[in-house]
């Protein structure tokens, strides 16, 4: 990378961002700002992406978008580089980053799909409050402080108190009873793995954890599952780290995977309900693999593919 440009709304223009003894002055995100850029990573919400993404493409800039704006657009590749980097080759200027829970779940499901052929899965997520933003993290901390002081807890970001509680409610509800977040897990998994017939049912739950999502998965496969082979393919997969020694009390936990690039996969066991089934537990930092890291990996893969062209 020869240069880095930071863009934001007009109210942030002129601010200085410093990291590792280097500083950058924030510029206003307007169409002409993309004239000098090769790749732009968008993470400002769907409305901004829809407004400025096509403008950036017109100016010769490739957009890696972290919002939901283009994920299900048939003309936009939805990318997890460890899974479907080849799908980037025919992009038309915009590449989409998946939802955080989808990206984390696929770090366990995809290598198993390669080995046994994924047919369907059930999942229950345990999603950290950071998935709802910095204000959500502050609300959990404030509620814990209020509880310690025996003071009333303020409830603003979530529909109910999150401290000492779990909420089976992430994003808006649809008429079928599932939430938007739950629909994302199915639809995005189908697109990323190119499995249009994949079936899935998910319950997304917000838990009082600051960072890193956890997902319990029960998956059914086309072929019989060999447990030793399952552990082997997880351990060999570039996006995953096998952490599966229950007798030694070693299994993935949010505290251990906050700030880590790889996602932890553990609690592997033959499923008691499915004939060709496997139960597993996946944990990953949704701010990294579920968002920023995956976007950077897409940009790195873009550079790699262009260099090989």
307: confidence class by pLDDT, cuts 50, 70, 90: low
pLDDT surpassing 60 at residue 130 = yes
- The DSSP H or E segment spanning 298 is helix 293-308
Enumerate the active-site residues. Answer: 100, 213
pLDDT surpassing 60 at residue 212 = yes
pLDDT surpassing 60 at residue 309 = no
244: confidence class by pLDDT, cuts 50, 70, 90: very high
Instruction: Give burial (CB, 10 Å; 0-12/13-18/19+) of 210.
Output: middle
Structure tokens, 181: 């977040």
134-189 pLDDT, tens digit per residue, is 999 999 999 999 999 999 999 999 999 999 999 999 999 999 999 999 999 999 99
Structure tokens, 128: 């950290």
CA distance 224 to 117: 9
If you ran DSSP here, which 8-state letter would residue 245 be given? B
Kindly report the CATH class assigned to 101-286.
alpha beta
Q: Look at residue 24 in the predicted model and tell me its pLDDT.
A: 86
pLDDT surpassing 80 at residue 1 = no
CA distance 191 to 79: 9
Over residues 74-96, mean pLDDT = 95
CA distance 300 to 302: 5
Q: Can you give the residue ranges of every domain in the chain?
A: 7-98+291-308, 101-286
Q: Which residues contact 173 (CB under 8 A, 6 or more apart)?
A: 179
Identify the CATH assignment for 7-98+291-308 out of 3.40.50.1220, 3.30.70.980, 3.70.10.10, 3.40.50.720: 3.40.50.720
Q: Look at residue 201 in the predicted model and tell me its pLDDT.
A: 97
**What's the alpha-carbon Rg for the chain, to the nearest Å?**
20
pLDDT surpassing 80 at residue 89 = yes
Q: Look at residue 12 in the predicted model and tell me its pLDDT.
A: 85
114: confidence class by pLDDT, cuts 50, 70, 90: very high
pLDDT, averaged across the chain: 94
217-234 pLDDT, tens digit per residue, is 999 999 999 999 999 999
pLDDT surpassing 90 at residue 298 = yes
Where are the strands (E) in 4-159, listed by range?
A: 7-8, 16-19, 22-25, 27-28, 39-42, 62-65, 94-96, 118-127
Tell me the whole-structure pTM to 2 decimals. 0.93
Range name among 21-35, 170-184, 220-234, 282-296 with the lowest pLDDT average:
21-35
CA distance 268 to 245: 9
Q: Look at residue 20 in the predicted model and tell me its pLDDT.
A: 85
Distance of CA 11 to the CA centre of its chain: 28
Over residues 253-281, mean pLDDT = 97
Q: Residue 194: which region, alpha, beta or left (left: phi > 0; alpha: psi -120 to 50)?
A: left
Give the residue ranges of DSSP H helices in 76-208. 81-84, 100-116, 134-148, 180-193
């Amino acid at each position: 990378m020869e240069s880095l440009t930071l863009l934001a709304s007009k109210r942030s223009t002129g601010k200085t961002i410093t990291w590792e003894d280097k500083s950058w002055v924030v510029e206003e995100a307007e169409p002409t700002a993309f004239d000098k850029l090769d790749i732009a990573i968008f993470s400002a919400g769907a409305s901004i992406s829809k407004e400025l993404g096509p403008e950036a493409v017109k100016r010769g800039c490739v957009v890696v978008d972290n919002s939901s704006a283009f994920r299900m657009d048939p003309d936009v590749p939805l990318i997890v580089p460890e899974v479907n980097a080849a799908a980037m080759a025919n992009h038309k200027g915009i590449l989409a980053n998946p939802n955080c829970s989808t990206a984390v779940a696929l770090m366990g499901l995809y290598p198993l799909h390669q080995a046994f052929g994924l047919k369907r899965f059930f999942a229950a997520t345990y999603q950290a409050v950071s998935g709802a933003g910095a204000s959500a993290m502050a609300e959990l901390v404030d509620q814990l402080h209020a509880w310690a002081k025996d003071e009333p807890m303020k409830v603003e970001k979530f529909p109910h108190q999150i401290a000492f509680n779990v909420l089976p409610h992430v994003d808006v509800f649809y008429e079928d009873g599932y939430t938007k977040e739950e629909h994302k897990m199915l639809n995005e998994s189908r697109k990323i793995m190119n499995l249009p017939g994949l079936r899935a049912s998910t319950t997304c739950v917000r838990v009082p954890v600051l960072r890193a999502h956890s997902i319990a998965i029960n998956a059914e496969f086309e072929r019989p599952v060999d447990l030793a082979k399952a552990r082997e393919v997880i351990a060999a997969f570039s996006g995953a780290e096998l952490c599966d020694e229950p007798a030694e009390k070693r299994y993935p936990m949010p505290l251990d995977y906050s700030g880590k690039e790889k996602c932890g996969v553990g609690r592997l066991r033959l499923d008691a309900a499915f004939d060709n089934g496997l139960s597993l537990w996946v944990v990953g930092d949704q701010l990294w693999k579920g968002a920023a890291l995956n976007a950077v990996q897409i940009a790195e893969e873009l550079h790699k593919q262009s260099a090989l062209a």
